[in-house]
Amino acid sequence: MNAPAPAQRAFLFDMDGTIVDNMAFHTTSWLAFFERHGHALDADAFFRDTAGRQGHEIIAKYLGEDADHVTLLAEKEIVYRELYGPHLATVAGFDRLIASARQAGVGLVVGTAAPAENIAFTLDGLDLRHRFDAIVGAADVERGKPHPDVFLKGALLAGALPHNCIVFEDAPLGVEAARRAGMRVVVLTTTLPAEAFAAFDNVIAIVPDFSSLDVDALFASVAPALAPHHQ
């Protein structure tokens, strides 16, 4: 009798702050945007309160539920692209890791809170879209992080069960979303120090970039599977 085919495995990457080290530019552009609208915000507090949130949630938090978030988000994105465009680049070791993952038959997914326009700016600007099996963004799920929807949908599209997935994240809300989905996480300290993730039991590694990561070693560290915490 032939042995059963191995279960599909997948890597799920948050985009901003993970594939690209851009969160400082996002924060700067948000602060400049809100200053135009009469709000002077502290950068550290703003990031803690909003990292992983979808743009319309951030608009509602500071400008109210009735604000025209479509128009306002377009305004903010113009500021962001002007600031970050000249610096667009992947985090060190990313290209090597996804090439190794592809050779090992690991599915590759982007799971981000970003809108379609920002996904296009980053992935198309770096010619990365074709490297992924699925891309799940803010428009593809009803609930943003810390809800698990974006990662669960990404795993489904990759044909992988949650316990066979590893998420790459830079924000506590994203780590919590993965925990609720029953997925392990590799944290990148592009945005916050390691101490910010001390409370999470689903973190298997904390690294400054992708350079030291090995595909087989990562999957060897994910057993036993986490129990999902779907909400």
The answer to whether residue 216 is catalytic is no
Written as six digits, the tokens of 170 are 């830079």
Strand-pair partners of 108 = 11
In what side-by-side order are the strands of the sheet with 165-169? 134-136, 107-111, 10-13, 165-169, 184-188, 203-207
- Distance of alpha carbon 176 from alpha carbon 129, whole angstroms: 26
- Catalytic member of 14, 21, 149, 170: 14
Q: Which member of 16, 21, 133, 149 is catalytic?
A: 16
DSSP strands (E only) in the chain = 10-13, 107-111, 134-136, 165-169, 184-188, 203-207
Nearest Cα to 130, choosing from 88, 159, 98, 156? Answer: 98
Q: Is 209 a catalytic residue?
A: no
CA distance 166 to 192: 20
Q: CB count, 10 Å around CB of 231?
A: 12
Active site residues: 14, 16
